[in-house]
Amino acid sequence: MIYPLVNWAQIAQSAGVLDPAYEAQFHALHPGTDHNGQIILPGQRDNGDRDLGWKLTAVSDGQIVAAGFYPVFGNIALLAFTAPDGRRWWAQYAHARRLLVKPGQWVKAGEVIGGMGKGADNAFPSHLHFEIRRDPPSVVSPDCWPSAKFRDRASAVAFIQRHYVVDQAAWFKFYGAASVNVPLSLIQLQ
């Protein structure tokens, strides 16, 4: 498994939702994890747009099942793949500034599939919104786009924690005990 952003060792993982107004604004639970492309400096909530265009990479060999524009999310790519435990998933990359893949295309783990962006209408600070969805989904819409069907979403946090080795010592050294609930950075590839 490959972390969904390049230069993973330099990445600071946010607390999961970079825009705290998201749920109030969109009247929906935030369904994924938000990833910065650069380290968050002390005292900052995010790194602004310094990581705009940061490369997004395929977490595994797999096939792009959808790629295009969607309201609020902006550009989205959905990658169908098999995890090391044999289960099938879709990884959803949202808010992309641009996409380099097309539906039906096969990609290799680590292949660059797009660049980090700010969502539709530049609604957010630059980040990757990453979701893990079940394959096959319980409801298949013609275009496979996200919908209000949250039941097909799995926990991206749990998925990352299961499939990546987190260097806890490095995390605490960098972020301190206050970050105990977000140990999703400084990740070693497997």
145 vs 172, beta carbon nearer Zn ion: 145
* Pick 34 or 51: Cβ nearer Zn ion: 34
Sign of CA dihedral 41, 44, 50, 54: positive
Helices within 44-114 (DSSP H only): none
Cis peptide before 4 (omega within 30 of 0): no
Distance (Å, whole) CA 147 – CA 14: 24
- Report which residue's Cβ sits closest to Zn ion: 129
- Residue in 129, 133, 153, 163 binding Zn ion, rule: CB under 5 A: 129
Euclidean distance between CA atoms 66 and 123, whole angstroms: 22
Part in contact with Zn ion (CB under 5 A); list of ranges 58-66, 126-134, 151-159, 180-188: 126-134
- Closest contact distance (angstroms) between CB of 125 and Zn ion is 11
| Interface residue with Zn ion, options 2, 12, 34, 187 (CB under 5 A) | 34
Residue 41 burial by Cβ neighbours in a 10 Å radius (0-12, 13-18, 19+): exposed
Closest CB 175 distance from Zn ion, rounded Å: 20
Compute the least distance from the CB of residue 71 to Zn ion, in Å: 14
Contact set with Zn ion (CB under 5 A): 34, 129
